[in-house]
Amino acid sequence: MAIAKRFSIDKSDINTVPVTKFQAIADFFVFLGLSVAYVFQSIYYTICGWPEKDLNNELCVITGGGGGLGRLLARRLIRLGVKVILWDINQDGLDESLQMLESLGGWCRTQKVDISRREEVYKAAEEIKNNFGDVTMLFNNAGVVSGRALLDTPDHLIERSFSVNALAHFWTVKAFLPTMLEKDHGHIVSIASMAGYVGIPKLIDYCSSKFAVVGFDEALRLELEMLGADGVHTTVICPYFIQATGMFEDVNSRWVNTLNSENVADRIIDAVRKNEKFTLIPWYFSVLLAVKWIVPWGCTSGFLRRLVPDATPQHHLAQGSPSITKQEEMHSKNIHINNNNNNNNNINNKSLLIQRISASTLGERVL
């Protein structure tokens, strides 16, 4: 209740009195003054270096920690004194990560969690609170990719992309944000993608889910600022295609090489320690975003189609069945199990309905 009262919007706090022209003009100049101050502050810290916060003894949850970028992030956080809890749907990957991190002398725990199911997220979060304390850092890193043209993408894979890449962020943040607000201390890191700012053929579901993540982070940050939660930070990370993550190993990229996963992990940790709001990797892609809607669409379209001629060449139908990652396989198994359960439930319900109709016809009482 105390958290709800402190971090809630009271209607009495909202000024419903119409703003005069003079007030609007004055407010605009105040905005300009603050903007200039922020620009000079940014220039100063860019030259002199941004301050880095100490992460020692933070308790951090990393989704998708069974391998790839999640494992690399965990290794770096362990070395900074962070207590790490890894979530993944792949138990074998979690065991490998745990063995590696414990060999470094770090504190690490693992939980097998399907983040697309909010009940599992909330249950795992409650177990963490009861056994280890309050989570102060959250890395929403887990992601999946289908890599097919829209009309070739089955409906369940589209749903999976949004469940894992976007909706899971809602469940994890709702699970851990309350205690962060209570202590006015925490950091939420959303691993999005450059595909969250630009569209790419054959990645329509992936791009859409990453666009959602970028919007989620920005809206959440604004809401936290409005609530006065100055000690709770958010960072959205938007990297180009990354090597050695099991998702874009053979992407056909022209002009810009795919990124080294070790370098990306280093840059992410650097961004978190400096409380950066959004981080593009590589940084010069910010130029593309700045001019995307200024130049004619033909310029933007031509650049993007030449930059990434084919994001997932291994998924061409002519090459046979597409390769799938361990995570994709696990999600597919879960979907198959759910469908079987639903089918069995439907069969049982139909059988029960037939029995009731038959009994009713015979004048019998059905319990």
Q: Are residues 205 and 143 in the same domain?
A: yes
**Main-chain phi, psi angles of 327, to 5 degrees:** -65, -45
Sign of CA dihedral 351, 354, 360, 361: negative
Query: CA gyration radius for the chain?
Result: 24
24 domain residue, yes or no: no
pLDDT tens per residue across span 176-226: 999 999 999 999 999 999 999 999 999 999 999 999 999 999 999 999 999
Residue 62 token pair: 């990393």
How many other CB atoms are found less than 10 A from the CB of residue 268? Answer: 24
**247, exposed or middle or buried, with CB in 10 Å at 0-12, 13-18, 19+?**
buried
210 domain residue, yes or no: yes
20 domain residue, yes or no: no
DSSP-assigned states of every residue in 129-143: HHHT----EEEE---
Q: Are residues 307 and 347 in the same domain?
A: no
DSSP H or E stretch at residue 110: strand 108-112
Domain count within the chain: 2
DSSP code, position 61: E
Catalytic residue set:
206
How many other CB atoms are found less than 10 A from the CB of residue 341? Answer: 10
Sheet holding 186-191, edge to edge: 108-112, 83-88, 59-63, 137-140, 186-191, 232-239, 278-281
8 domain residue, yes or no: no
Q: Are residues 219 and 365 in the same domain?
A: no
Residue 111 token pair: 């939980």
Taking a C-beta distance cutoff of 8 angstroms, is the pair 208, 254 a contact? no
Q: Which residues, including other chains, have CB under 8 Å from residue 279's CB and lie 6 or more apart?
A: 235, 236, 237, 238, 267, 268, 271
Predicted local distance difference test score (pLDDT) of residue 257: 81
Last residue within a domain, chosen from 284, 303, 319: 319
Low-confidence ranges of the chain (pLDDT < 50): 1, 4, 315-327, 336-339, 342, 346-367
Residue 283 CA to residue 274 CA, distance in Å, equals 15
**324, exposed or middle or buried, with CB in 10 Å at 0-12, 13-18, 19+?**
middle
How many other CB atoms are found less than 10 A from the CB of residue 6? Answer: 13
Taking a C-beta distance cutoff of 8 angstroms, is the pair 328, 144 a contact? yes
pTM: 0.79
Q: Are residues 250 and 348 in the same domain?
A: no
Residue 212 CA to residue 208 CA, distance in Å, equals 6
Q: Are residues 310 and 361 in the same domain?
A: no
Predicted local distance difference test score (pLDDT) of residue 366: 28
Predicted local distance difference test score (pLDDT) of residue 84: 98
Q: Are residues 246 and 292 in the same domain?
A: yes
Predicted local distance difference test score (pLDDT) of residue 337: 47
Which CATH number goes with the domain that contains 241? 3.40.50.720
**155, exposed or middle or buried, with CB in 10 Å at 0-12, 13-18, 19+?**
exposed
Angle at 135 between CA 272 and CA 225, to 5 degrees: 55
Residue 336 is part of which domain span?
A: 324-367
